[in-house]
Amino acid sequence: MSRYIVAVDGSGAAQSAVRWIADVTDPSTDTVWLVTVAELLGDLPSTAEARLLEARSLLLRRHPTLEVTTDLVGGGTVHGIVLEGTAGDVLVLGGRQRHRFIGALRGRVAERVVAEARTPVMVVPEERVDEVGPVVVGVDGQSGVAALAYAAAFAARWRRELVLVRAWQSPSTTTPFGNVYFEGDLSSWEHAADLQVEAALHAVDAAHPDVPVLGRARRGSPGRVLLREAASASAVVVGRRHRSSLTGLIAGSVGETLMHETHVPALIVPPNAVLPAALDRPTH
C-alpha cells in the first residue's frame, strides 16, 4: 500500500490538493493521511478538526472504501508538516501561486517544506488545470536520478506517456562587465544533452518497458523549458538540488519556478529519495 500525506490548512490551495488526491488515488492500493497543524493564535482545535473532517468527507464521497486517517499536530507549521511527511511515500501540499509576495511575508511555508522534506513533495496549484497529458520530468545528472524513478513510476501508475526533458545552456562566467557566454561550440553542449537524454531513455526502458517514453533536449533555462514542455502535462517532476543552509528555502531553483508558475502538479524529489515498492506498480 502506498501512503499519501496531505497537508490541510483550510485554504483554496489545500482544497485543490485534496481534490487532486481524490482524482488520482486508488482505494485498492493507496491510503491517505490528512494532516493539519494548529499553530496560529486563535486557531481552535475544533476549527482544525473541522478542516480535517471536511477533507475526509470529500475523499470518501469519491471513494467510499478508501482508507483515510486524520491527524491534528501542534508546533510550528513547517516542522510539523515535514515530520508527519516522513511517515508517507509522498507529501502533498497546495501551492498559492497568486499570492507569492503575501506568501513570503507569511514565511513561505510551502517552499520551506519542500526544501526540508526528506520525502518527495507534490505541490498542487491552487488554480490547477486538470490535464490528462504526459508526465514530464527534468533530466539532470546531478539531482535527477531519483526524480526520474518517481516520474516513471507515476507514468506507469496513471498509464501516461513519459517525456524526458533535458534543458541545456552554453556555459557562462561573470565578469566586472557582466555575464560572458561561451557560444563557440554549441553543438558539443547540445550533443552532451542528447547523450544524457539517451541514457535516461535506456534506464526507463529497462525499468518500465510498458511505459511509452520520449526524450527531448531543449536549449534554455531549465525552469523556462520545463514550464513550456509541461504546459499540458498530468504532472511535472524535478529533482531538488538547491537549498539555502541559512533559510531552508529553495530560492531561485527550478522547483520554486514550477511551484509558482505552472498550473499542473509539480513533484519535487530530494536527491536521496528511494522509490518505495508500493509506488512502483500500476493502479487498477
Q: What pTM was estimated for this model as a whole?
A: 0.87
Q: What is the Cα–Cα distance from 112 to 133, expressed in whole angstroms?
A: 29
Whole-number pLDDT of residue 3: 92
Pairing of strands 213-219, 121-125: unpaired
Look over the chain and give the mean of its residue pLDDT values, rounded to a whole number: 83
For residue 100, pLDDT beyond 60:
no
SS3 content of the chain, % helix, strand, coil (to 5): 40, 25, 40
pLDDT single digits (tens) 31-69: 999 998 776 445 677 888 899 999 999 999 999 999 999
The CA-atom distances, in angstroms, between 165 and each of 46, 137, 237 are: 46, 6, 10
Helices 45-62 and 12-24, packing angle to 10 deg: 30
For residue 111, pLDDT beyond 60:
yes
Q: Predicted confidence band at 246 (pLDDT cuts at 50, 70, 90)?
A: very low
Q: What is the Cα–Cα distance from 72 to 48, expressed in whole angstroms?
A: 7
Q: Which domains does the chain have, with CATH numbers?
A: 2-269 (3.40.50.12370)
Pair 171, 181: CB distance under 8 Å: yes
132 residue type, one letter: V
For residue 230, pLDDT beyond 50:
yes
How many beta carbons lie within 10 A of that of residue 148, not counting itself? 23
For residue 101, pLDDT beyond 50:
no
39 residue type, one letter: E
First vs last C-alpha separation in the chain: 13
Degrees, nearest 5: CA angle 174-176-178: 55
Pair 115, 244: CB distance under 8 Å: yes
Better pLDDT: 125 or 74: 125
Show the DSSP H helices in 45-185 as ranges: 45-62, 77-85, 100-105, 109-116, 144-158
Q: Predicted confidence band at 260 (pLDDT cuts at 50, 70, 90)?
A: confident
The CA-atom distances, in angstroms, between 272 and each of 53, 119, 120 are: 34, 9, 10
